[in-house]
Amino acid sequence: MSVINSMLKNIEQRQPTTSLNGQDTVVVEPVYDSHGFIKKLLIITIALLVVVLSYIYLPTASDDAAAQLPERIDVVTKAQSSKETEQNNTPVLINAPVVSNSDVIKPVAKVEPIIEEVVTVKTDTKEPVVAEKPMVAAVAIEPSKVPTANKESSFQVKKVTQQRTEQQQIAELLRQAKQALEFGLYQEGIDDLSQILNRDKGNIAARSLLAATYFQQQDILSAQSILEHGIAFDSQVLEWRVLLSKIYITRKQYSVVQQLLSDDFDSQGDSQYWALKGTAAQQLGDHTRALVCFEQLTQLQPQQGKWWLAMATSKDAQGDYLSAKRYYLAAIEVGNLNPAVLKHAEQRLQALGGVS
């Protein structure tokens, strides 16, 4: 019993303590900063509102500004047209010294820049600005000269372009003809060269190449005809005369060669010219002329022994044996002679050995 009583007492003693402990306990709930949250939400809302308003109203404002631009230009145009009407109706402007021939002609070429400048000024200022009277008078009186000048200049440009295109076509045909001849396509080359001469009879390169092609193909008559027609068209082309002289040299028609290669062309002469002319003169017995030609060749091609031999032959024919001996010796020393010619020179030198 004592044990039970002590247990009950202990229980009674514990119950008030538990109730006190339950009464003294304070439960603290979490506190939230609602003021700061509301402030942040308000700032974000304002920013979004500003962005939306900018997106809505800025394009509208730019459209209004663009719409006002044509209106301002119309105002300027109307103001200027009304000013021109007043000036046309006013007789004072007709007798004014501003509208003279020199004043009218000068601004015509700049009519469009002047109008553009006036429009540019109007877009920047609100008040209409009218161009000066001489400018307006020039535009009103002489509007027809500008298209005339443009028409003439465009016609000249078109004409030059057509000529340039024709030259380019001829150059292309000549290139094709040369390429065809290099590959042995003679007929194609002849056709292209003939087409060039149909367009341009004075084309030196095409006519010379065509004659040389006929000559190579042993069509001597066609080559001769091409060159003779060229000389008839332009008698001052020495290249055609030289080519035709080669044909007459092969036929031993030396007098015709002398006529073709007259002294008038000596200033233009090259090695072929002097060789043909000297050979024709020597064959005709005109050794004085032949010596002039071969002397030119000894200066142009001193390493060729045949020209020294030709000099010796003409001197030998004239009876100037001392000079002939000297030239025979020079020909042998220079060399570049075939065996038969070299043997002839040595024999003549031995025959003239006693001459002093």
Q: pLDDT per residue over 302-317, tens digit each?
A: 999 999 999 999 999 9
Question: Which residue in 181, 246, 169 sits closest to 210, CA to CA?
Answer: 181
pLDDT at 14: 63
Per-residue confidence at 276, pLDDT binned at 50, 70, 90? very high
Q: How far apart are CA 318 and CA 307, in angstroms?
A: 17
Label residue 20 by pLDDT band (50, 70, 90): very low
Tell me, what amino acid is at 44? I
Percent of the chain topping pLDDT 90: 52
| Structure-token pair, residue 179 | 């390429």
Q: Is the dihedral of CA 290, 291, 293, 297 positive or negative?
A: positive
Residue 112: pLDDT above 50?
no
Cα–Cα distance measured from residue 238 to residue 157, given in angstroms and rounded to the nearest whole number: 35
The continuous run of DSSP H or E covering 109 comes out as none
> Phi, psi (5° rounding) for residue 128?
-70, 135
Phi and psi (nearest 5°) for 42? -65, -40
Say if residue 83's pLDDT is above 50.
Answer: yes
Q: How confident is the model at residue 118 (pLDDT cuts 50, 70, 90)?
A: very low
Q: How many Å separate Cα 235 from the centre of its chain?
A: 34
Residue 48 has pLDDT above 60, yes or no: yes
pLDDT at 144: 47
Give start and end residues of each alpha helix (H) in the chain: 2-24, 34-89, 92-95, 101-108, 111-124, 133-141, 145-182, 186-199, 204-216, 220-233, 238-250, 254-260, 271-283, 287-300, 305-318, 321-334, 339-351
| Domain boundaries of the chain, sorted by first residue | 152-235
Which tops the pLDDT comparison, 41 or 184? 184
Cβ 327 vs Cβ 312: under 8 Å: yes
How many Å apart are CA 344 and CA 325, to the nearest integer? 13
| pLDDT one-digit tens code per residue, 142-181 | 444 444 555 555 555 455 455 568 899 999 999 999 999 9
Q: What is the pLDDT of residues 33-47, one digit of tens each?
A: 677 778 888 889 898
Residue 271 has pLDDT above 70, yes or no: yes
Q: Copy the structure tokens of residue 256.
A: 């015709």
pLDDT of 340 > 50? The answer is: yes
112 to 74, 85, 92, 106, 136: CA distances (angstroms) = 17, 20, 26, 13, 12
324-337 confidence digits (pLDDT tens): 999 999 999 999 99
CA distance 204 to 172: 15
Judged against a pLDDT cut of 60, whether residue 124 lies above it is answered with no
Looking at the predicted structure, is the pLDDT value of residue 347 above 80? Answer: yes
Ramachandran class of 106: left when φ > 0, alpha when ψ lies in -120 to 50, beta otherwise: alpha
What pLDDT, in 10s, does the model give residues 190-223?
999 999 999 999 999 999 999 999 999 999 999 9
The predicted structure's pLDDT at residue 3: 64
CATH topology of domain 152-235: 1.25.40
- Is the model's pLDDT at 101 over the cut of 70? no
Please report, rounded to a whole number, the percentage of residues in the chain having pLDDT higher than 70: 60
